[in-house]
Amino acid sequence: MSRKSGRQPDAPNDTQAAYSSPPCYARDFPGHFGEEVPSAEAIRIERLNALLEAERAGAKVLAILRDELDARAPLRALLERLQKDEGSNAVVLYKTIQRLGGAASHETGAFVHKTLAIDGLEARLSFLNKGQAWVVRKIDEVLTDIDDPDARRMLEEMRRSHVDNIAACEAVLGHPPTSL
């Protein structure tokens, strides 16, 4: 039917005709259409790379927020500590991915642009905490698939640092502690 008139198009090439097709569910059936199905190891590396990109983004956001503050501002020291945690996590994730035989991503997550689009330090810190909580959830998901003891320890430590950093930000924001 034509969108404007509500009538059937007069000719097959009537440009006012609106056609739609059913949704494609091919992604729900990997391998069904002949494409290569990623191995469990490839999926683990992909998930670790998503964490790596998020850690890079967090480190970058925290550096920007920190640098916007006066050197004597009490919050600056906290942001400095959080930024170092994020940067250290990125380095350890990068090395872990390589040690596990994967190719470590060199990308930075979209979190930087999303955070900087928000006005005000308090709102940005609240959004940062949502990002840190997302990382905690993703670590929990990845941990179920990691057999390597060193990688497990690294992820568990990274999770603890995020939980602690969330609590520190919540205290600064004056919010009650969140449960993860």
Give me the CATH number covering residue 53. Answer: 1.20.1260.10
Could you tell me what percent of the chain has a pLDDT over 90?
69
Asked whether residue 19 is assigned to any structural domain, the reply reads no
The more confident residue out of 56 and 34 is 56
Asked whether residue 168 is assigned to any structural domain, the reply reads yes
The residue segments making up the domain with residue 94 are 41-173
Asked whether residue 12 is assigned to any structural domain, the reply reads no
Number of domains in the chain: 1
What's the whole-number mean pLDDT along residues 93-107? 96
pTM of the complete model: 0.77
Lowest-confidence segment of 35-39, 72-76, 82-86, 90-94 by average pLDDT: 35-39
Q: Say yes or no to pLDDT of 30 above 90.
A: no
Q: Say yes or no to pLDDT of 119 above 50.
A: yes
Asked whether residue 29 is assigned to any structural domain, the reply reads no
What's the whole-number mean pLDDT along residues 64-92? 94
The amino acid occupying position 92 is V
8 Å CB contact between 154 and 96? yes
Q: Which residue has the tokens 């924001």?
A: 173
Q: Say yes or no to pLDDT of 79 above 70.
A: yes
8 Å CB contact between 62 and 83? yes
pLDDT at residue 27, as a whole number: 65
Query: Pseudo-torsion of CA 78, 110, 27, 47, nearest 10°?
Result: -40
pLDDT at residue 39, as a whole number: 85
Asked whether residue 178 is assigned to any structural domain, the reply reads no
Asked whether residue 26 is assigned to any structural domain, the reply reads no
Of 52, 47, 57, 58, the closest CA to residue 166 belongs to: 58
Asked whether residue 140 is assigned to any structural domain, the reply reads yes
- Confidence band (pLDDT; 50, 70, 90) for 38? confident
pLDDT at residue 13, as a whole number: 54
The distance in angstroms from the start CA to the end CA of the chain is 50
Average pLDDT, rounded, for the chain: 87
pLDDT tens-place string over residues 124-174: 999 999 999 999 999 999 999 999 999 999 999 999 999 999 999 999 998
Of 68, 76, 57, the closest CA to residue 130 belongs to: 57
pLDDT at residue 2, as a whole number: 47
Asked whether residue 166 is assigned to any structural domain, the reply reads yes
**Residues in contact with 32: Cβ distance below 8 Å, sequence separation at least 6, in sequence order:** 26
